[in-house]
Amino acid sequence: MPDIDWRAAVRAAFGGRTPDDDVVEELAQHAATAYEAARAEGVEPDDALADVARQIDRWAADPVVASRRPRRPPAVAPPPASAPPFASTMQDAKYALRLMRHQPAHTVVVAATMALGIAATTLLGSVAYGVLMKPLPWADAPRLVRLYETRQGSTKRFRPMMTNGTYRAWREGARTLDALAAWDVRQVALTDRPGTGRITVSDVTPSLFPMLAAGPALGHGFAPGDEEPGRPPIAILSYGLWQQQFGGRNDAIGARIRLDTTTYTVVGVMPASFAFPDRETRAWLPFYIEPPTTPGRGGMSISMFQALGRVRPGATPAQAAAEGTALGRAATPSVPMAKVVATAVFGSDGPVDVTVVPLLEALTSDVRPALLILLAAVLLLLTVATANVASLQLARATARRRELALRSALGAGRGRLVRQTLVESLVLGLVAGAAGLVLAALMHRLLPLLLPTNFPRLDDIAFDWRVLGFALLVSIAAGLGCGLLPALHIARTDIAPALGEDALAPVGGGLRARTARARAAILAAQMAMACVLLIGAVLLVRSFVDLMGAELGYDPSNVLTARVILTDGEYSPPQRLAVLDNILQRLSATPGVTHVAYSNSLPFVGGEALSSFPLKRRDGSTIQVQAGVQGVSSDYFAAIGQRVVEGRGFVPDDASRDVPVAIVNREFSRKYLGGQALGWTLPGASKHGDSGPERPIVGVVDDTVRRSVTDTPQPEIYGTTRRSGGEGAGQVADSDINLVVRTSRNPRELVPVLRNVVQSAAPAAPLESVMTMDDRVAGSLANPRLYAVVLATFAGFALVIAAVGLFGVLSYTVTLRRREIGVRSALGATGRDIVLLVARQSLAIVAAGIVAGLLASAWATRLLGTLLYGVTSHDALSFLAVAGMLFAAAVIATIVPARRAARVEPAKVLRG
C-alpha cells in the first residue's frame, strides 16, 4: 500500500486558496480513514483512491471550507453522554395531531369511518342501557314484580293480566310479597272542560303509590279504603294536567273535575317526574277490586287489570308465583258461572296459573332480544370500522417505514416508536370519538322520531355522563384496537433493512410480506363480519316484507277509520243509533266513499269483546265455545274488505227483522262446527241469566288478524244492530264507536269531510284516532320495521366500509407493486394479466371472507329466531344473495385498482 500524503493532496486540491491548517488536517484525516475503510472492504487501491480524490475535490470546491478561519478549543477526551429522554407522550400526541392536519384526506376518511361506528355504538349503547339496564325510578325497583294470571290451556287471546279473585286472595294471604297493587288504564272525557278531548287516566289501588314510594307534590295521596264503593270520588292529577287545567295554582286541591259522568274532588298533584304506568297518564283514580262473588247475590263478576307486587327480601319470583298459583286456585269460585267466565276470558277453565316476572324484564321483554341483537350488530360494525382503520394505518405504517427508520436512526428506541404509533391511533380514536359523540347526540335527538311511540322506557333513554363515559371507552378501545397491529408491525420491523430497501417498490410484494398477510386477514375478517350483518339484515328485511304482505283477512288499502265517542252521559243507546245512522247516511252520500260502516271494535284498535256459551253441535254433543263478539253495521264487511266465503253478509233488512242473525268466521266454523257453520244456529245471547232469541248463522267470513299480523286466527261471531224486536233492539251499548270508510280515492283526502259530518251529527262528540287502516297495520309493524331498518343500515355501512377498505388496500398494494408490475409488463405480461394479478389477490381475500362469514352466519342467525317471520334462519336464498352482494362489492372495489395497475408504464417505473 503506497503511503499517501493526504495533507498534501488536500492542499493541492485547494490550489492557491490555502485553507486553515485545522481544516486541512481534518479533511486529510477523513480522507485517510475513508481510503482505509474502502480498502478494508476490498475496494481496489486505484478505485478507492479515485473515490477519495473526488471527495477531496468536492470539499475544495466549497467556499465555506476554503474560507474557513481557525478556532482552536482545547483538546479533551470525549464523554460518552447518554441521550436524554427523547420526548414525552404529549409530544407524541402533538405530533399525531400535526400529522392528521397534514393529511386531511386520510384523516377525514379514517376518522369519519370510526366516528360513524362510534356514533352508532354510543347511540345504541345509550338506548340499550336506558331501556334494558337503567334501574327503574321506583324505590326497591329490583324487588318489584309483575303478577300475571292465566289458566292452563289458555288460548292467550289477551295479554296476560290479573283477575280480581286471585288478586284479592293473594292480597289477604301473601307471604312472599310485602305489597300488592293494581291498576287499569282507560280514557275518559274531561266533560266540564269542552274542547280538551279525552285524557288517559289510571285507576290505581291506594297501595300503589306507597309501594313505589311516590308521594304527591301537592295535597295528599290515596288512603286505604278510599277506593271502597260509596266513598266520595277523588282524583290525583299529574303535574301536566294540573298546569294545564289549574295553571299550577294551589287551589286545585279541593277543586272539582268531571270525568265522563262522575265528578271528582282533586286531593293531590303528583310531581312532574312521576309517570306511572307511563307519561300518557294524566290522572289517577282509586281502583276498587271487587270480589268475584258476593254472598246473597247470584252470578259472579270478573275484572281484569294489571298487577304489581313487591317480593319480600329473600323471596324469589318463583316462590311468589307458586304462592299466587296456590292462592288463586283456592280462590276460584265454585259457581257454574266461573267456568263460563274463565272460558270466555282465557279460552279454558283449567286451573289458575300465576307467573311472576321482575318489572324491568316485563317492561322490556318485547324489545330485549332485538336490542341485544342490534347491540351485537353495532359492535360488529364498529369492529369492521376499526379494522378498516387498522388496515389503513398498517398500510401507512409500511409507507412510513423510512420515516420511522429515520426517527430510529435519530435515537428513538423501538418502544418509543411503538408508543408513538399507539398514541397516534389513540388521538385518532379520540378525535373520531368526539365527532362520533356529536353525531350520536344529533341522532339522539331524532330518536323520538325513529322509535315507535310504544317503545318501552323511551323517557329513560338519556344522553348523560354514562353515555359520555361509554363513548370515551369505545373511542379508546377503537383507537388502541386500530393502533395495535401497526404498532406490533413496527415492533417487529428491523429498522436498518427498512432504510435500505426502496420501500416504495418491493418486488413480489403480494401476500408474502407479513404485513400484507395481516392486511389480508383483516380484510377477510371485515368481509366476514359484513357478511354476518348483511345476512341478518336480509333475513329481517325479508321477514318485514313477509309481515307486510301477510294475509290479514281484509283489505286495509283505501280505508279510513276513526273513533267517535258518544258518552253515556250525553247519548242514550237509541240516541247513539240515530246519530250513527245520520253519520253513515251523510258519509255514504259523499263522492269518493264506496262503503261506510261502524263497529264496536276493529283490528289493531282493541275493544275486543269475548263471550263463552255452550254450543250444541250437529252430532248432538255440546261444546263450551270461546269467541270474540263484534257488533257491526250492515255494510261492515264491504267497508273493511273482509271476504264473505259462505252464505251472505249482513243486509240492511237484518236490522229490522224480528230474528237476529249471526255471521261467524272460518275459524269458528272449523273449530266448533266441523267447518259446517252455515245454517246452524247459535244460542241466544244471554244477559242477566235470560236467554235471547237463537241466532241462525247466515254467513261465514274470512279469518282476520286482530292485534298482530302474526296472530293465529281466533273464533269470531259478528252480530248486527237491530231496530225492532227482542232485547237490545235499537241500541248501541258501547260509547266508543269505530267508523270504517272505504273510499275510491286517497282516504286521507276524506278526513275533513269525516270531521265535518261527525261534527254536525254529534257536535260534542270527540273524534279520535283518525287513521287509515294501512297506517294501523304499518303501526303494528313499527318494531319489526325498526329492527330491519337499523340492521340493514348497519349492514350497509359495514359493506361500504369493507369495500372501501378493500379498495384502499388494493390501491395501495398496486402502488407498492408498481415496480413488480412494471417488470412483469416489460417481460411481456398483457394488461389482462396484470388485472388478473390484482384481481386474484382481491378475490382470494374476499372468498375467504365470504366463506368465513357464511359459516359464522349459520351460527349467528339462530339468535334472530323470534324476530323472523316467513323465513327460516338458514334461508339458503338469503345466504346466496348476500354472498353475491359481497362478491359484487368486491368486484367493484377491485376494478379501479386493477385497471390502474394495468396502465402502469414499465419504462417510467423502471427508470424511476
Partner 1 sequence: MATTSLERELKRGSAEILILALLEERQRHGYEIGRLIADRSRGAINFHVASLYPTLYRLEDRRLIEGRWVEKAGQRRRRYYRLTREGRAVLARQRGIWDSFFIALDRVARIRHA
List the interface residues with partner 1, window 775-834 (CB under 8 A): 815
Report the residue number, 13 or 564, with the smaller CB distance to partner 1: 13
Among 13, 24, 27, 467, binds partner 1 (CB under 8 A): 27
Among 4, 43, 53, 87, binds partner 1 (CB under 8 A): 87
Report the residue number, 86 or 158, with the smaller CB distance to partner 1: 86
CB of 68: closest distance to partner 1 in angstroms?
Answer: 6
Whether 741 and 561 have beta carbons less than 8 Å apart is answered as yes
Asked if 499 is part of the footprint of partner 1 (rule: CB under 8 A), the reply reads yes
Number of chain residues interacting with partner 1 (CB under 8 A):
55
DSSP class of residue 294?
-
Backbone φ, ψ for residue 793 (5° rounding): -65, -50
Report the residue number, 403 or 546, with the smaller CB distance to partner 1: 403
Report the residue number, 400 or 742, with the smaller CB distance to partner 1: 400
The residue range among 93-101, 231-239, 683-691, 720-728 that interacts with partner 1, by the rule CB under 8 A, is 93-101
281-286 vs 690-691, strand pairing mode: unpaired
The residue range among 122-130, 201-209, 230-238, 400-408 that interacts with partner 1, by the rule CB under 8 A, is 400-408
Asked if 8 is part of the footprint of partner 1 (rule: CB under 8 A), the reply reads no
Residue 370 and residue 540: Cα distance in Å, rounded?
A: 11
Among 304, 458, 504, 764, binds partner 1 (CB under 8 A): 504
Whether 424 and 490 have beta carbons less than 8 Å apart is answered as no
Q: Is the dihedral of CA 437, 438, 443, 447 positive or negative?
A: positive
CB of 103: closest distance to partner 1 in angstroms?
Answer: 7
Provide the grid cell at 172.
289477604
CB of 407: closest distance to partner 1 in angstroms?
Answer: 8
Asked if 18 is part of the footprint of partner 1 (rule: CB under 8 A), the reply reads no
Residue with cell 474557513: 68
Report the residue number, 99 or 597, with the smaller CB distance to partner 1: 99
Report the residue number, 60 or 854, with the smaller CB distance to partner 1: 60
Report the residue number, 884 or 912, with the smaller CB distance to partner 1: 912
| Residues composing the chain | 912
Asked if 107 is part of the footprint of partner 1 (rule: CB under 8 A), the reply reads no
β-pair partners for 562:
739
The residue range among 155-163, 330-338, 380-388, 402-410 that interacts with partner 1, by the rule CB under 8 A, is 402-410
Report the residue number, 95 or 288, with the smaller CB distance to partner 1: 95
Report the residue number, 497 or 549, with the smaller CB distance to partner 1: 497
Asked if 898 is part of the footprint of partner 1 (rule: CB under 8 A), the reply reads no
Provide the grid cell at 229.
264503593
The residue range among 28-36, 254-262, 471-479, 714-722 that interacts with partner 1, by the rule CB under 8 A, is 28-36
Backbone φ, ψ for residue 699 (5° rounding): -160, 160
The residue range among 18-26, 348-356, 731-739, 848-856 that interacts with partner 1, by the rule CB under 8 A, is 18-26
CB of 84: closest distance to partner 1 in angstroms?
Answer: 8
Question: In sequence order, what DSSP letters do the residues of 608-634 get, joined into one string?
Answer: -EEEEEEEE-TTS-EEEEEEEEEEE-T
Asked if 876 is part of the footprint of partner 1 (rule: CB under 8 A), the reply reads no
Among 18, 89, 103, 585, binds partner 1 (CB under 8 A): 103
Report the residue number, 50 or 409, with the smaller CB distance to partner 1: 409
* Per-residue mark of binding to partner 1, 45-84 (x: CB under 8 A): ----------x--xx--x-xx--x--xxxxxxxxxxxxxx
Asked if 907 is part of the footprint of partner 1 (rule: CB under 8 A), the reply reads no
Among 402, 723, 748, 840, binds partner 1 (CB under 8 A): 402
Residue 227 and residue 231: Cα distance in Å, rounded?
A: 7
Report the residue number, 72 or 832, with the smaller CB distance to partner 1: 72
Q: Report the run of H or E that residue 697 belongs to, with start and end.
A: strand 695-701
Among 93, 109, 406, 511, binds partner 1 (CB under 8 A): 406
Among 5, 8, 18, 22, binds partner 1 (CB under 8 A): 22
In the chain the first and final C-alpha atoms are separated, in Å, by 40
Report the residue number, 185 or 504, with the smaller CB distance to partner 1: 504
Angle between helices 104-128 and 368-399 (to 10 degrees): 160
Residue 269 and residue 284: Cα distance in Å, rounded?
A: 10
Report the residue number, 335 or 406, with the smaller CB distance to partner 1: 406
DSSP class of residue 133?
I
> Which string of b and e fits 349-374 if b means at least 16 CB within 10 Å?
beebbbbbbbbbebbbeebbbbbebb
Asked if 366 is part of the footprint of partner 1 (rule: CB under 8 A), the reply reads no
Asked if 98 is part of the footprint of partner 1 (rule: CB under 8 A), the reply reads yes
Residue 54 and residue 303: Cα distance in Å, rounded?
A: 110
CB of 394: closest distance to partner 1 in angstroms?
Answer: 16
**CA 763 from centre of chain:** 43
For residue 137, which amino acid is it?
A: P
* Per-residue mark of binding to partner 1, 410-429 (x: CB under 8 A): xx------------------
Report the residue number, 15 or 80, with the smaller CB distance to partner 1: 80
Residue 672 and residue 537: Cα distance in Å, rounded?
A: 41
CA-to-CA separations, 785 to 381, 450, 542, 548, in angstroms, rounded: 20, 10, 10, 10
Among 403, 546, 555, 727, binds partner 1 (CB under 8 A): 403
736-743 vs 593-599, strand pairing mode: antiparallel
Please, which residues have CB within 8 angstroms of residue 884's CB and are 6 or more apart in sequence?
A: none
CB of 278: closest distance to partner 1 in angstroms?
Answer: 57
Whether 239 and 281 have beta carbons less than 8 Å apart is answered as no
The residue range among 30-38, 567-575, 712-720, 854-862 that interacts with partner 1, by the rule CB under 8 A, is 30-38
Residue with cell 345504541: 124
Report the chain's C-alpha Rg in angstroms.
Answer: 41
Residue 95 and residue 102: Cα distance in Å, rounded?
A: 10
CA-to-CA separations, 786 to 452, 778, 782, in angstroms, rounded: 8, 11, 6
Please, which residues have CB within 8 angstroms of residue 385's CB and are 6 or more apart in sequence?
A: 113, 114, 116, 117, 478, 797, 801
Report the residue number, 298 or 411, with the smaller CB distance to partner 1: 411
Asked if 652 is part of the footprint of partner 1 (rule: CB under 8 A), the reply reads no
User: Which contacts qualify for 42-46: CB closer than 8 Å, 24 or more apart?
Assistant: 45/1, 45/2
Report the residue number, 22 or 749, with the smaller CB distance to partner 1: 22
The residue range among 87-95, 174-182, 297-305, 889-897 that interacts with partner 1, by the rule CB under 8 A, is 87-95
Q: How many CB atoms lie within 10 A of CB 508?
A: 11
List the interface residues with partner 1, window 544-583 (CB under 8 A): none
Among 18, 33, 656, 830, binds partner 1 (CB under 8 A): 33
Report the residue number, 320 or 902, with the smaller CB distance to partner 1: 902
Whether 900 and 811 have beta carbons less than 8 Å apart is answered as yes
Please, which residues have CB within 8 angstroms of residue 835's CB and are 6 or more apart in sequence?
A: 898, 899, 901, 902
Asked if 748 is part of the footprint of partner 1 (rule: CB under 8 A), the reply reads no
Report the residue number, 410 or 876, with the smaller CB distance to partner 1: 410
Q: Which residues bind partner 1 (CB under 8 A)?
A: 22-23, 25-27, 29-30, 32-34, 37, 55, 58-59, 62, 64-65, 68, 71-84, 87, 91, 95, 98-99, 102-103, 399-400, 402-403, 405-407, 409-411, 496, 499-500, 504, 815, 912
